[in-house]
């Protein structure tokens, strides 16, 4: 982010003094906020990729085993996302599609998960891929676990915060998901105007960054991932270092990343008993996100769904949002 722009924001909006240097200006007009988004999105790309975005090589998709479920077919897919690296995943299509074009959902698992977990209705954490596929959505679930990343040794686990990483893990995940979206938009049955991303835990964090960076996303549902940046990394709670971006320190908070989604539809979900994304920090972060949507002029396009559970995905409110803002054909 340009230093002059940051200094300008601090000078014009003194309220930023207690925030990160690049946080959105709370007294901005809608036009000023949009300018901040444009500048910040470009800067965030540099932070995620530690430089320019990777080369978008030809996707060259290959298709593997197919499996029929009750009302959808599951297909293994592999695409080339950058030179020398492939992204694999599972693609669900309804067996009896109600229309020629259908909404697409990119479903993201968290730590300890893989794409197949998203289509397991008995999986306690990541069942939402199956849930949406059964209802008639086209669902693609890429594998974004540690084994799917490159050069992971320096930023896995709970050791020192990794700095100056060649290609941050979160950046790799975001790039893989965006290339998966590139692939899905080549499919003739996908409606390019109805695209959702959903995830829990690390999948929720990845959803946040993907929706912030990719304006093709219509609706983002990020569960079990809302927190203030200092609470995430500076206190007693331990999070896998694969989610850390050193260039965010002092520059952006996580609520700023969510603010880049405005004015598109955003649902963030928190559990009152979540031990690693405490509800107090989540509520504080959401107040800032709501402020960003107010500035953008669309306060009703964002909501915070707080359920009584712990670190889990609670389906009822996300289902309502998908049906309302990413509707299936009648």
pTM: 0.93
pLDDT, tens digit (0-9, with 9 covering 90-100), for 213-255:
999 999 999 999 999 998 888 766 788 888 999 999 999 999 9
Quick one: angle between helices 30-49 and 279-296, nearest 10? 130
> Is pLDDT above 60 for 319?
yes
Average pLDDT over residues 311-329: 97
pLDDT score for 8 = 34
Q: Which of 307, 106, 143, 327 is nearest to 221 (CA)?
A: 106
Instruction: Band the pLDDT of 17: cuts 50, 70, 90.
Output: very low
Average pLDDT over residues 191-198: 98
Average pLDDT over residues 17-45: 91
pLDDT, tens digit (0-9, with 9 covering 90-100), for 76-94:
999 999 999 999 999 999 9
Average pLDDT over residues 2-10: 38
Residue, of 218 and 330, whose pLDDT is higher: 218
Average pLDDT over residues 198-208: 98
pLDDT score for 161 = 82
Average pLDDT over residues 101-116: 97
> Is pLDDT above 70 for 311?
yes
The domain over range 37-325 is classified in CATH as 3.40.50.150: no
Cα–Cα distance measured from residue 279 to residue 307, given in angstroms and rounded to the nearest whole number: 10
Average pLDDT over residues 170-179: 97
pLDDT score for 6 = 39
pLDDT score for 233 = 80
Percent of the chain with pLDDT over 70: 92
Parallel, antiparallel, or unpaired: how do β-strands 138-142 and 85-94 relate? antiparallel
Burial class (CB in 10 A: 0-12, 13-18, 19+), 195: buried
pLDDT score for 160 = 78
Token pair 């049955």 is found at 189
Q: How far lies 211's CA from each of 62, 79, 204, 221, in Å?
A: 26, 21, 10, 9
Q: How far lies 95's CA from each of 181, 299, 328, in Å?
A: 21, 38, 15
Token pair 């009896």 is found at 96
Q: Which of 125, 103, 256 is nearest to 193 (CA)?
A: 103
The beta strands (E) that lie in the chain are given as 62-68, 72-82, 85-94, 102-108, 138-142, 190-200, 219-223, 265-271, 302-307
pLDDT score for 11 = 32
pLDDT, tens digit (0-9, with 9 covering 90-100), for 62-74:
999 999 998 999 9
Instruction: Band the pLDDT of 159: cuts 50, 70, 90.
Output: confident
Instruction: Band the pLDDT of 275: cuts 50, 70, 90.
Output: very high
pLDDT score for 151 = 78
> Is pLDDT above 60 for 101?
yes
Structure tokens at 106: 């990119």
pLDDT score for 156 = 66
Instruction: Band the pLDDT of 270: cuts 50, 70, 90.
Output: very high
Average pLDDT over residues 243-268: 95
Cα–Cα distance measured from residue 208 to residue 200, given in angstroms and rounded to the nearest whole number: 11
List the chain domain ranges: 37-325
Query: What average pLDDT does the structure give for the chain?
Result: 92
Average pLDDT over residues 93-100: 96
The CA-CA-CA angle for residues 48, 132, 45, to 5°, reads 10
């Amino acid at each position: 982010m340009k230093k002059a722009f940051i200094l300008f924001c601090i000078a014009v909006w003194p309220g930023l003094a207690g925030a990160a240097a690049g946080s959105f200006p709370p007294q901005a007009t809608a036009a000023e906020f949009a300018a901040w988004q444009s500048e910040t999105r470009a800067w965030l790309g540099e932070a995620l990729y530690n430089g320019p975005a990777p080369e978008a090589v030809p996707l060259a998709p290959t298709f593997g085993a197919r499996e029929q479920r009750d009302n959808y077919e599951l297909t293994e897919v592999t695409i080339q996302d950058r030179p020398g690296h492939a992204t694999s995943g599972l693609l669900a299509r309804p067996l009896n599609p109600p229309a020629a074009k259908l909404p697409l959902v990119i479903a993201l698992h968290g730590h300890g998960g893989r794409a197949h977990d998203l289509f397991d209705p008995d999986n306690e954490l990541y069942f939402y891929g199956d849930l949406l596929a059964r209802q008639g959505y086209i669902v693609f679930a890429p594998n974004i676990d540690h084994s799917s990343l490159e050069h992971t040794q320096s930023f896995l686990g709970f050791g020192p915060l990794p700095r100056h990483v060649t290609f941050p893990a979160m950046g790799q995940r975001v790039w893989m998901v965006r290339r998966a979206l590139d692939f899905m938009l080549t499919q003739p049955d996908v409606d390019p105007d109805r695209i959702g991303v959903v995830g829990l835990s690390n999948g929720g964090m990845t959803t946040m960054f993907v929706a912030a960076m990719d304006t093709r996303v219509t609706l983002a549902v990020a569960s079990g991932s809302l927190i203030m940046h200092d609470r995430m990394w500076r206190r007693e709670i331990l999070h896998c270092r694969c989610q850390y971006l050193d260039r965010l320190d002092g520059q952006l908070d996580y609520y700023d990343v969510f603010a880049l989604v405005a004015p598109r539809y955003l649902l963030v979900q928190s559990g009152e008993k979540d031990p690693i994304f405490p509800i107090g920090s989540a509520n504080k972060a959401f107040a800032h996100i709501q402020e960003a949507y107010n500035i953008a002029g669309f306060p009703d396009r964002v909501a915070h769904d707080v359920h009584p559970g712990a670190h889990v995905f609670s389906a009822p409110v996300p289902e309502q949002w998908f049906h309302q803002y990413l509707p299936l054909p009648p």
